[in-house]
């Protein structure tokens, strides 16, 4: 093949494979550019370049004519394969501007609001704690959205918290633990909350969360930071990373962390509108199916560990924001305290479990230890994250989980030990008893 034709072919191949080699910058691949490079490649191979090559070969003899056409046909098949590959790449790595991006409203009047997003199964067992919390707030400063099982309604029969009445979203889905449906439920909550332009901060909470401070303290805390609070760190072992995620999600962008995040509006919009990273999680990040009880002693641990295990909600937000190059816009910590216990059963597919604080577990010492935490250490990165707001050291956590009803009641009873912990502004909190709280919840 003549040197100039070889150079042209190489340049065309270089342009075609650029998105594969640049790894991250695949969104630069446009449909027009893709087609233009493909047709250049075909033209060089079976067009002018092929004619020049054919003319040179005719000087050698006509016996090579059929061989040349066979070669051209083979090259044409290669070009056709390139067309299919590039169209597939374009479908995977379409530019962000082509996403089905929802134009959420941006203009609002008055004070910015905090959106509290609750992920619940049905009833919210700690509703009495949130009743005290929201009673100390100015209602225009917050909004509430609850994702529960489809058809469940919050009213005077199902909850003692009047602020939860009618706050369920109508398009909820059935959610499975450790499945991508958990992420989809979070995205549904965000899409609903983003329709109110005054919502500027979005706090994701579970049905076992309790607030550690009064509303005004929480509001000032989250509003004073321009960053999202996202617990995000490297996963050096990468055991949950599935090679099938590449090249859409490269391993060096794989992150891990708590699902209980607090997002600024910009990042909430990115998560709600994403249709590139989430489909990959849905296909390739799946938890290992739990073994039936009667097989747990029969199956060898090594066999269980060979099966890929991925918990989507512990990786999605962190990886998405890393892929978007937004990690500098994050406080790399969560605002929700969790105490983790490792499962004693090696065959347990869930591994680590959040500890549930019961009535007997909660005392003043526990409350002080949680509220007194001012830094978090990440051993995988040898990094200490010091908690501060506006350059001033502050407590790391505004919420805590998981608490039983009895544990939450005792936590509220200890509120008066520290004036920073009082739940209703500067007023005294009426002590609650376990029997009283249970009685009100059964009305």
Place 210 in a pLDDT band, splitting at 50, 70 and 90.
very high
Same domain membership, residue 84 and residue 131: no
Would 105 be classed as within a structural domain?
no
Q: 261 with 373, same domain? A: yes
* Long-range contacts of residues 434-443, Cβ cutoff 8 Å, at least 24 apart: 434/359, 434/405, 434/406, 434/409, 437/128, 437/405, 437/409, 438/405, 440/128, 440/160, 441/125, 441/127, 441/128, 441/160, 441/405, 443/156, 443/160
Q: Is residue 23 part of a domain?
A: yes
Strand 199-206, strand 228-229: pairing: unpaired
Task: State the average pLDDT over residues 416-430.
Answer: 39
Q: Between helices 48-58 and 65-92, what is the axis angle to 10°? A: 160
Residue 80 is assigned to a structural domain of this protein: yes
Question: In the prediction, which pLDDT does 392 show?
Answer: 86
Same domain, residue pair 187 and 317: yes
- Tell me the mean pLDDT in the region 301-313: 63
C-beta atoms surrounding 93 within 10 Å: 17
Number of domain units in the chain: 2
- 276 plus 129 within the same structural domain: yes
Sign of CA dihedral 103, 104, 108, 112: negative
Q: Are residues 282 and 180 in the same domain?
A: yes
What pLDDT is attached to residue 217? 94
Q: Which of 31, 61, 95 is the last residue of a domain?
A: 95
Q: Is residue 53 part of a domain?
A: yes
Domain that holds residue 353: 114-290+297-441
Same domain, 152 and 203: yes
* Domain end residue (candidates: 48, 64, 95): 95
Query: 168-188: per-residue pLDDT in tens?
Result: 999 999 998 888 899 999 999
83 and 206 housed in the same domain = no
Pair (260, 140) in one structural domain:
yes
Residue 410 lies in a domain: yes
Of residues 101 and 170, more confidence is placed in: 170
Tell me, what's the pLDDT at 106? 87
Give the model's pLDDT for residue 308: 57
Work out the average pLDDT over 35-49. Answer: 50
Name the nearest CA neighbour of 356 among 320, 405, 312, 424: 405
Query: Has residue 144 been placed in a domain?
Result: yes
Together in a domain, 83 and 156? no
- Residue 100 lies inside a defined structural domain of this protein: no
Query: Mean pLDDT across the chain, nearest whole number?
Result: 77
């Amino acid at each position: 093949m003549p040197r100039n034709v070889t150079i042209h072919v190489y340049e065309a191949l270089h342009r075609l494979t650029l998105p594969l080699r640049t790894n991250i910058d695949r969104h630069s691949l446009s449909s027009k550019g893709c087609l233009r490079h493909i047709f250049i490649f075909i033209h060089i191979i079976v067009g002018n370049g092929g004619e020049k090559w054919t003319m040179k070969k005719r000087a050698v003899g006509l016996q090579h004519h059929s061989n040349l056409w066979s070669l051209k046909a083979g090259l044409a098949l290669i070009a056709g394969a390139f067309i299919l590959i590039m169209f597939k790449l374009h479908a995977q790595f379409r530019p962000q501007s082509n996403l089905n991006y929802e134009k959420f409203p941006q203009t609002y009047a008055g004070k910015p609001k905090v959106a509290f997003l609750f992920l619940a199964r049905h009833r919210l067992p700690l509703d009495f704690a949130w009743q005290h919390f929201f009673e100390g707030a100015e209602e225009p400063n917050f909004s509430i959205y609850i994702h529960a099982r489809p058809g469940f309604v919050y009213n005077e029969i199902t909850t003692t918290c009047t602020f939860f009445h009618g706050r369920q979203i109508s398009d909820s889905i059935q959610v499975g633990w450790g499945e991508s449906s958990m992420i989809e439920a979070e995205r549904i909550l965000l899409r609903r909350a983003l329709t109110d332009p005054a919502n500027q901060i979005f706090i994701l909470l579970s049905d076992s969360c309790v607030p550690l401070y009064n509303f005004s303290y929480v509001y000032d805390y989250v509003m004073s930071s321009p960053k999202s609070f996202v617990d995000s760190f490297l996963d050096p072992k990468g055991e949950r990373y599935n090679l099938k995620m590449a090249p859409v999600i490269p391993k060096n962008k794989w992150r891990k962390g708590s699902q209980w995040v607090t997002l600024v509006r910009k990042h909430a919009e990115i998560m709600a509108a994403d249709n590139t990273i989430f489909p990959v999680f849905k296909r390739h990040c799946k938890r290992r199916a739990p073994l039936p009880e009667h097989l747990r002693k029969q199956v060898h641990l090594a066999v269980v560990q060979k099966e890929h295990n991925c918990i989507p909600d512990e990786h999605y937000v962190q990886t998405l924001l890393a892929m978007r190059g937004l990690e500098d816009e994050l406080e790399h910590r969560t605002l929700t305290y969790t105490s983790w216990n490792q499962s004693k059963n090696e065959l347990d597919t869930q591994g680590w479990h959040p500890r549930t604080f019961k009535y007997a577990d909660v005392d003043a010492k526990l409350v002080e230890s949680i509220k007194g935490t001012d830094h978090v250490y990440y051993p995988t990165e040898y990094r200490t994250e010091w908690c501060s707001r506006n350059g001033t050291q502050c407590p790391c956590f505004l919420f805590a989980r998981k608490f039983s009803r009895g544990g939450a009641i005792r936590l509220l009873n200890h509120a008066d030990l520290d004036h920073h912990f009082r739940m209703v502004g500067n007023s005294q909190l009426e002590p609650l008893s376990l029997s009283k709280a249970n009685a009100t919840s059964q009305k």
